[in-house]
Amino acid sequence: MEKLTYNKIVHKAKELFADCGVANVTMSLIAKKAGVGRRTLYMYFSSKDCLYEAVVAYEVGIIYDTIDEVFKDTSDSDPISVIQRYVRARFEALGQLIQKNPSIRNDFINDLPRVNKIRETFDRDESLLLNKLISRELSKVSVGCDSKVNSIAKIVHIMMKGLEVPIIIQNFSNESIKLLDQCIEMITKSIIQK
């Protein structure tokens, strides 16, 4: 019952934040729309900021599930295209999140420290997944760069995070996604050729 109530509150808050903006939503309104009392709401979330962080964490979990699916798909044998597919899937999921919730888009542009604090767990988990993906993909071409996998994964992860804000500002234009693909291709090809 507790998890059901928690999820109901998060989903109603997510809808309200997307429709009205975080600043325009009160805890009373969230409690009313979720069908819970204010006391119950405050048992789960001590403030609107805590609730907002839970909403963002939920949405970031969707992004992680998307990239995890790419990791699990082993049908493609070309390392470059697998890594590019991973990056595209990640940015498509991010684009959907931003479209659904303009408040999160605003935070990415205007309050990156807040976003980075909320996404610490995601960044750690994504780094591990990216490390495994790159290790698996580079082993296909047997270039003997196992010792460089950690560095490569860090570079790709830093590059993706660094391009998030410009791509968000450009509303996920084809040109910005093409630039992202070119960066990934350049990194992976230079590694494979060594």
Distance between CA atoms of residues 194 and 183, nearest Å? 17
- Identify the weakest region by mean pLDDT among 62-66, 99-103, 124-128: 99-103
Task: Give pLDDT, residue 27.
Answer: 96
CB-CB neighbours of 128 under 10 Å: 11
Q: Is 173 exposed, middle or buried (CB count within 10 Å of its CB: 0-12, 13-18, 19+)?
A: exposed
Distance between CA atoms of residues 161 and 179, nearest Å? 14
CA distances from 118 to 12, 15, 39, 140, 183 (A): 19, 19, 25, 35, 27
CB 44 within 8 A of CB 6: yes
> Tens digit of pLDDT for each residue in 133-180?
888 887 777 655 666 788 888 888 998 888 888 888 888 888 888 888
* Domain pair 1-46 / 48-193, same fold: no
Q: Does domain 1-46 have CATH number 3.40.50.300?
A: no
Confidence band of 10 (pLDDT split at 50, 70, 90): very high
Which helix H or strand E contains 45, and what residues bound it?
A: none
Domain limits, the chain: 1-46, 48-193
Task: Give pLDDT, residue 135.
Answer: 85
Pick the CATH number of 48-193 from 3.30.420, 1.10.287, 1.10.10, 1.10.357: 1.10.357
> Tens digit of pLDDT for each residue in 85-108?
888 899 999 999 888 888 888 888
Alpha helices of 45-146 — where are they, by DSSP H? 48-72, 79-100, 102-110, 112-118, 120-140
Side chain identity at 26, as an amino acid letter? T
Task: Give pLDDT, residue 128.
Answer: 93
CB 8 within 8 A of CB 36: yes
Side chain identity at 191, as an amino acid letter? I
Distance between CA atoms of residues 161 and 123, nearest Å? 9
Nearest to 172 by CA among 113, 103, 92: 92
CB 152 within 8 A of CB 136: no
Instruction: Give 53 or 187, the one with higher predicted confidence.
Output: 53
